Chains A and B, each alone.
Chain A
């Protein structure tokens, strides 16, 4: 593991203590939802309400992406009529929401998790299977 040489960029040079993986919640079917329960390893680092709020917002965003509403229906019909060539120039609704999610996670990391020595990884980088939470050592030394 890399030694902590400077504290300017925590993500590259701080020591990783461990990782926790928030699993998917399948009680409502195959929709992309994550479990809101705070894992034991994070209890010392972050407030339960805060964490649940983050995961709940993420779940709402994913639900919005996968919603079977009129917008997805119209998008599907239009795409089918153009033999799906329309997606060469247009972004799908899901991709737009994924960008929103990426921004949200970055914002949460900057505001809430980095000061506590934690880092959330965007679930899309793990195949939408888990939310990877990296726990860094020495939270008091970070900015």
Chain B
């Protein structure tokens, strides 16, 4: 045995040691959200799903909570006594509704379409090649488009190169979140998430209720200032309640933007259009292609968008990874599972049968090799966000 042979033996992962390592590592269940592609952040073990940039969302929260706190602190005591106690009560109800709608919009899955698994992607590629025929070398392949007829209109379905699917009608790929979203409306930085099929009605109710709240606070600010000025004079009033000035400023600027946005979305809903379609001019302008999704009746359109069924998320964020064996890249193929089972006595073997988790766990943990020596109860680095996950998944390819 020469030196070179020995060094190869040392460097190459020994099947037994890697299976022991994988057996040690599978004390932790991996949920599907940890392995999802795309640039989303997940919280609460996959229950909450948002975009990566959340700065503007925090600003939205701050403005709403801050302005309402000022209202409750400065205006409400005076108005409750001098006008009616119903005023702050209604303000609280409205505030809670606004917050519920905002959080619901921000935290829910907008309707993300999962990417095609390798088998499906290959199948579609074969279909495309069959449809296109032989492309002579030097010529560009024709664009990947499928034509479907919806309500007597021809709608083109585009192929998404990232997700490897033909996008359903009205779906679009969000470059910020790197996902295809069904009935994609727009990516809203103010809510820190995409607005799509599943959360559009919450988004609309958020803008509507926020408009009402803004108008409400603005109106009662003015009423309060007017009532107090009669008694103490205008400048003294402003000195007594400095919060009023801030509230009036915030509400004034919010009014123009949010009320305008609500009006715009009301118009879109009545026509059953998305912001994306409106910006691209899909149903207006040249060719006079009519919107095939509209019921040609405002009430029906509104009912469909606002009172339609609550679509479930197709992402299955909280499912456990063991379900989809065919989806995982098989690093330790068939030999590893058997050796994992035979070396089970080294560790508590309640998690031993899961070879898929073992291969995923060992792959992710190869970049943290110093921790192999620790006992099974060692705390594994939490895969909290897809950023760390991307790094580990890139790292797993390198040792080989």
Q: Are B151 and A65 in contact (CB under 8 A)?
A: no
Q: Which of A81-107 contact B (CB under 8 A)?
A: 83-85, 87, 92-95, 98
> Which of B97-105, B184-192, B210-218 contacts its partner?
B97-105
CB distance from A129 to the nearest CB of B (A): 6
Q: Are A73 and B149 in contact (CB under 8 A)?
A: no
CB distance from A73 to the nearest CB of B (A): 5
- Name the A residues within 8 Å of B123 (CB-CB): 19-21
Which residue of chain B has the shortest Cβ distance to A24 in the bound complex? B168
- Name the B residues within 8 Å of A92 (CB-CB): 309-310, 312
Known A30-B168, A73-B303; judge A67-B314 contact (CB<8 A): no
Which residue of chain B has the shortest Cβ distance to A92 in the bound complex? B310
Give the residue of B168, B205, B312 whose beta carbon is less than 8 angstroms from that of A129.
B168
Known A19-B119, A129-B113; judge A68-B151 contact (CB<8 A): no
Interface mask (B278-320 → A, CB under 8 Å = 1, otherwise 0):
0000000000000011000000000110111111101110000
- Name the B residues within 8 Å of A80 (CB-CB): 205
The total of chain B residues at the interface (CB under 8 A) is 42
The total of chain A residues at the interface (CB under 8 A) is 38
Q: Are A124 and B309 in contact (CB under 8 A)?
A: no
Known A19-B119, A29-B151; judge A76-B306 contact (CB<8 A): yes
A140 CB within 8 Å of chain B: no
Q: Which of B115-145 contact A (CB under 8 A)?
A: 116-117, 119-120, 123-124
B350 CB within 8 Å of chain A: no
Q: Are A77 and B307 in contact (CB under 8 A)?
A: yes
Counting chain A CB atoms within 10 Å of each CB, the highest count among B101, B157, B165, B314 belongs to: B314
A132 CB within 8 Å of chain B: yes
State the A residues within 8 Å of B (CB): 2, 19-21, 24, 26-30, 65-68, 72-73, 75-77, 79-80, 83-85, 87, 92-95, 98, 124-130, 132
- Not counting A76-B307, A129-B114, a sample of 17 additional A-B residue pairs whose C-beta atoms are within 8 angstroms of each other reads A19-B123, A21-B123, A26-B150, A26-B155, A27-B150, A28-B151, A30-B169, A68-B307, A68-B308, A72-B307, A72-B309, A73-B307, A84-B202, A94-B311, A94-B312, A129-B113, A130-B120
What would be 13 A-B contacts, judged by CB atoms less than 8 Å apart? A27-B149, A29-B150, A68-B307, A76-B308, A76-B310, A80-B205, A84-B100, A92-B309, A124-B312, A125-B324, A126-B117, A127-B315, A128-B314
